C-alpha cells in the first residue's frame, strides 16, 4: 500500500487514483492513521484536480465500508422496498418529515439518514430535536426495529454509519473544501448506501437558497450523484428543484415541525411544497416498482395523506424514538413558542411607490436570519433555540394588501426581533402589482443515469 502522502501527491499532480489506494486512504481516515493535515491536503487535492466517475465510486464505496451497514435480508427481511430521498439543502424544506411517513404508509420502508443544518440551510435532525425526548441517534438495533415496525425512522448517521465521512467532513468544513463535486457525492451517497437502500431519489436544488445557485452547477451535481449512485449499485434519480424562495411558508425548527403536523393532518398543505412532496414520492414509488404509472403513484400518496395513515406513521415514529405519544393531538404542549412575535411590514418606500407584489426573495438571507435568531449554529458547538424563526412568509408573486405582513418573526427578545424584521425587509424585492408575472414550477427537470449502449 502507498503511504498516504504518496496517494495525496498523485492526486495533487492530477493522476487518477486506483481503487485500492482510495480504500487504503479511507480506512486510514476511519481508524485515525491518516492525520487531519493529510485529510485536509487530500480534500484540497480532490477539490482542485477532481475525480473521474470510477474514482468517485471507489471513494463512495470505501466510505460506505468504513463503518457498519444496515442489512435488510435474512432475519431482517422486510415485506416492501427500502427507499429514501435526500435533499442538497434549502430553506423551509420540510419534505423529509412529510414524505418519510407517506412512503411508509404506501408500503415502503424508509431508514432516513438525515443531517443537521449547514450554513444557512435547515437540518431535519435539528427540526426533530424540537420534539422533547426524540432520539436522533438511537442504537442501530432500535433504528432497525422502528423501521421494521413503523416503516420509517428519521435519524442521524451517528458514529457507526460511514464514520470516515464524519471525520473527513469535519476537516472539509474548515478547509474550504466542502464545494467539491466528488467529495459531496461520496459524502451523501456513502451514508445512503450504508443504510442498505434499494432506491434513492435526490432533490438537487438551485437558486438563491441553494448551495449550488446556478442551475448548470446543480445539474452537474445531480448527474454526478445519479451516476455514482447507480454505478455503486443503488438505483438513483434526481429532481432539479427551485430554491429561489423558501419551500414552505415557515423557516425555523419548531415552526417547521408545526407546519409538518398541519400538512400531515390536512389542516394546511401549501401548494408548492405539496407539489414537490408528490413529485419526489411519485418518482420513488415508480423506481421501487410499487406502481406502474405516475397517476397511480399520485393516488397512493394522496390516499396516504387523506386517510390519516401518514400522520399515524409519523406519530408512531416519534413515539418509537422516545418522543411523546400524543404529539399530533397536543403539539402546543410540546413545541416551544417564542416569547416575541413581530410582524414584518412591507417597507414604507415600496408602499409609497405603489410596489406591493413580491418580485424576488434572497432566500439565503432568510436562512441567515433564522441562524441569527438562534435557530441555527454560528459554531458547531452552539445550542439551537427551537422556538425562533419565521412564519407566514409571503411567496414570490404575492400581492400584499395594506396591513398584510411580509412574514412573522419569532424571536427570543425584542432586540433580535427588530434586527430580524429589518433583515427580512432587506431580503425581499418588490414590483408593481400590475407587472407581468409568471409562476415558476418547483420541479425544473429530472436526471436519470446514462444508459451505456
Closest approach of ligand URA to the CB of residue 189, in Å: 9
Residues 106-145 contacting ligand URA, CB under 6 A: 115
User: Which stretch, 21-29, 76-84, 181-189, 378-386, contacts ligand URA (CB under 6 A)?
Assistant: 181-189
Residues 281-340 contacting ligand URA, CB under 6 A: none
Which residue's C-beta sits nearest to ligand URA? Answer: 187
Closest approach of ligand URA to the CB of residue 183, in Å: 6
Q: Are strands 236-242 and 110-113 parallel, antiparallel or unpaired?
A: unpaired
The residue among 81 and 115 lying less far from ligand URA, judged by its C-beta, is 115
- Annotated active-site residue 148? The verdict is no
* Cross-strand pairs, 238: 202, 447
Q: How many residues are present in the chain?
A: 453
The grid coordinates of residue 400 equal: 400584499
Binding mask 159-178 for ligand URA (x = CB under 6 A): -------------------x
Helix (H), strand (E) at residue 200: strand 199-206
The grid coordinates of residue 314 equal: 409519523
Query: How many residues sit close enough to ligand URA to count as binding (CB under 6 A)?
Result: 6
- Annotated active-site residue 116? The verdict is no
Q: How far apart are CA 448 and CA 235, in angstroms?
A: 9
Closest approach of ligand URA to the CB of residue 87, in Å: 9
CB neighbour list of residue 60: distance below 8 Å, 6 or more residues apart: 185, 186, 189, 190, 193, 228, 232
Is residue 382 classed exposed, middle or buried when 0-12, 13-18 and 19+ CB atoms within 10 A define those classes? Answer: exposed
* Cross-strand pairs, 241: 205, 443
- Annotated active-site residue 187? The verdict is yes
Q: How far apart are CA 99 and CA 275, in angstroms?
A: 12
- Annotated active-site residue 191? The verdict is yes
Closest approach of ligand URA to the CB of residue 373, in Å: 23
Closest approach of ligand URA to the CB of residue 118, in Å: 6
- Annotated active-site residue 342? The verdict is no
The residue among 155 and 305 lying less far from ligand URA, judged by its C-beta, is 155
- Annotated active-site residue 86? The verdict is yes
The residue among 178 and 446 lying less far from ligand URA, judged by its C-beta, is 178
The residue among 135 and 205 lying less far from ligand URA, judged by its C-beta, is 205
User: Of the residues 65, 84, 126, 244, which is catalytic?
Assistant: 84
Q: How far apart are CA 123 and CA 326, in angstroms?
A: 24
Check residue 83 for interaction with ligand URA (CB under 6 A).
no
* Cross-strand pairs, 82: 109
- In this structure, the number of other CB atoms found within 10 A of the CB of residue 381 comes to 6
Q: In this chain, which of 23, 114, 144, 187 binds ligand URA, going by CB under 6 A?
A: 187
Check residue 188 for interaction with ligand URA (CB under 6 A).
yes
- Annotated active-site residue 172? The verdict is yes
CB neighbour list of residue 381: distance below 8 Å, 6 or more residues apart: none
* DSSP string across 269-297: --HHHHHHHHHHHHHHHHHTTS-SSHHHH
User: Of the residues 11, 64, 66, 87, which is catalytic?
Assistant: 87
Q: In this chain, which of 34, 184, 315, 373 binds ligand URA, going by CB under 6 A?
A: 184
Q: How far apart are CA 453 and CA 449, in angstroms?
A: 12
The residue among 125 and 152 lying less far from ligand URA, judged by its C-beta, is 125
Check residue 447 for interaction with ligand URA (CB under 6 A).
no
Q: How far apart are CA 292 and CA 290, in angstroms?
A: 7
The grid coordinates of residue 215 equal: 442551475
Closest approach of ligand URA to the CB of residue 428, in Å: 28
Active site residues: 84-87, 124, 172, 187, 191-192
Binding residues vs ligand URA (CB under 6 A) = 115, 178, 183-184, 187-188
Amino acid at each position: 500500500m502507498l503511504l498516504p502522502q504518496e496517494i495525496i501527491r498523485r492526486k495533487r499532480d492530477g493522476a487518477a487514483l486506483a481503487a485500492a489506494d482510495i480504500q487504503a486512504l479511507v480506512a486510514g481516515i476511519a481508524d485515525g492513521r491518516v492525520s487531519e493535515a493529510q485529510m485536509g491536503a487530500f480534500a484540497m487535492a480532490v477539490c482542485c484536480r477532481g475525480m473521474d466517475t470510477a474514482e468517485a465510486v471507489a471513494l463512495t464505496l470505501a466510505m460506505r465500508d468504513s463503518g457498519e451497514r444496515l442489512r435488510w435480508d435474512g432475519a431482517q427481511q422486510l415485506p416492501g422496498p427500502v427507499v429514501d430521498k435526500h435533499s442538497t439543502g434549502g430553506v423551509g424544506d420540510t419534505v423529509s418529515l412529510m414524505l418519510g411517513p407517506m412512503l411508509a404508509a404506501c408500503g415502503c420502508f424508509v431508514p432516513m439518514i438525515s443531517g443537521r443544518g449547514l450554513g444557512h440551510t435547515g437540518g431535519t435532525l435539528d427540526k426533530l430535536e424540537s420534539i422533547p425526548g426524540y432520539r436522533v441517534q438511537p442504537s442501530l438495533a432500535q433504528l432497525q426495529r422502528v423501521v421494521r415496525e413503523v416503516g420509517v425512522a428519521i435519524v442521524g448517521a451517528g458514529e457507526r454509519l460511514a464514520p470516515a465521512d464524519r471525520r473527513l467532513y469535519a476537516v472539509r468544513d474548515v478547509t474550504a473544501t466542502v464545494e467539491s463535486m466528488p467529495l459531496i457525492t461520496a459524502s451523501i451517497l456513502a451514508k445512503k448506501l450504508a443504510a442498505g437502500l434499494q432506491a434513492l431519489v435526490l432533490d438537487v436544488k438551485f437558486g438563491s437558497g441553494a448551495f449550488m445557485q446556478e442551475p448548470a452547477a446543480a445539474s452537474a451535481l445531480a448527474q454526478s450523484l445519479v451516476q455514482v449512485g447507480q454505478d455503486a449499485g443503488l438505483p438513483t434519480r434526481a429532481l432539479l428543484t427551485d430554491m429561489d424562495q423558501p419551500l414552505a411558508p415557515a423557516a425555523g425548527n419548531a415552526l417547521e415541525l408545526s407546519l409538518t403536523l398541519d400538512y400531515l393532518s390536512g389542516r394546511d398543505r401549501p401548494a408548492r411544497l405539496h407539489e414537490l412532496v408528490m413529485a419526489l414520492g411519485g418518482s420513488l414509488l415508480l423506481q421501487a416498482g410499487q406502481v406502474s404509472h405516475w397517476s397511480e403513484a399520485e393516488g397512493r400518496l394522496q390516499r396516504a395523506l387523506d386517510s390519516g395513515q401518514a400522520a399515524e406513521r409519523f406519530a408512531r415514529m416519534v413515539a418509537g424514538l422516545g418522543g411523546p405519544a400524543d404529539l399530533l393531538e397536543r403539539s402546543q404542549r410540546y413545541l416551544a413558542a417564542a416569547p416575541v412575535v413581530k410582524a414584518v411590514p412591507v417597507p414604507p418606500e415600496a408602499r409609497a411607490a405603489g410596489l406591493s407584489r413580491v418580485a424576488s426573495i434572497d432566500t439565503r438571507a432568510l436562512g441567515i436570519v433564522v441562524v441569527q435568531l438562534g435557530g441555527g449554529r454560528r459554531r458547531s458547538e452552539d445550542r439551537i433555540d427551537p422556538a425562533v424563526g419565521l412564519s407566514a412568509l409571503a411567496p414570490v408573486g404575492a400581492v400584499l394588501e395594506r396591513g398584510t405582513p411580509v412574514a412573522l418573526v419569532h424571536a427570543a427578545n425584542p432586540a433580535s426581533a427588530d434586527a430580524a424584521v429589518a433583515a427580512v425587509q432587506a431580503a425581499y424585492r418588490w414590483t408593481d402589482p400590475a407587472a407581468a408575472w409568471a409562476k415558476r414550477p418547483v420541479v425544473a427537470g429530472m436526471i436519470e443515469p446514462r444508459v451505456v449502449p
